[in-house]
Amino acid sequence: MPLPPGGLLQLTPEGLYCPAAQAWIDPWRPVPRALITHGHADHARPGCGTYWAVGQAEGILRQRLGEGIDLIPVEYGERHRIGGARVSFHSAGHVLGSAQIRLEAGGERWLVSGDYKRCPDPSCTPFEPVAADVLITEATFGLPIYRWRSGAAVAQEIVDWWRGATDRPSLLLCYAFGKAQRVLAELHRLGIRDEVLLHGSVQQLMEPYREAQVAMPPTRPLAELPRGAPLEGRLVIAPPGALRGRGLSRLKTPQTAFVSGWMAVRGARRRRGTGHGFVLSDHADWPGLLRSVRESGAQQVYVTHGQSNVLARYLREVEGIAAEPLEGAFEAERFEGDTPEAAAP
10-145+283-333 in CATH: which number? 3.60.15.10
Residue 112 scores a pLDDT above 80: yes
- Rounded to the nearest angstrom, the gap between the alpha carbon of residue 168 and the centroid of all alpha carbons in its chain is 31
Q: What is the CATH number of domain 151-278?
A: 3.40.50.10710
pLDDT digits (tens, 9 = 90+) for 289-339: 999 999 999 999 999 998 999 999 999 999 999 999 998 778 766 554 434
pLDDT value for 268: 65
pLDDT at 256: 95
H or E element, residue 288 = helix 286-296
Cα 291 to chain centroid distance, Å, stands at 19
Which segment of 4-8, 152-156, 182-186 scores lowest on mean pLDDT?
Answer: 4-8
Contacts of 197 by beta carbon, 8 Å cutoff, 6+ apart:
219, 220, 221, 222, 225, 231, 234, 235, 236, 237
d(CA 175, CA 188): 18
pLDDT digits (tens, 9 = 90+) for 27-44: 999 999 999 999 999 999
**Using CA atoms, how far apart are residues 214 and 331, in angstroms rounded to an integer?**
28
What pLDDT sits at residue 61?
A: 98
Q: Do residues 60 and 206 make contact, with C-beta atoms less than 8 angstroms apart? A: no
- Averaged confidence pLDDT in the chain: 93
Outline where DSSP puts E strands in the chain.
10-12, 15-18, 23-25, 33-35, 50-54, 70-74, 79-82, 85-91, 99-105, 108-112, 134-138, 170-173, 196-198, 219-221, 235-238, 255-259, 276-278, 300-304, 322-325
Tell me which of 144-158, 193-207, 268-282 is least confident: 268-282
Tell me: the pLDDT tens digits for 40-95? 999 999 999 999 999 999 999 999 999 999 999 999 999 999 999 999 999 999 99
Which one-letter amino acid corresponds to residue 294? Answer: R
pLDDT of residue 269: 60
Domain spans, the chain: 10-145+283-333, 151-278
Q: What is the DSSP track for 118-179? A: -S--TTSPPP-----SEEEEE-TT-STT--PPPHHHHHHHHHHHHHT-SSS-EEEE--TTTH
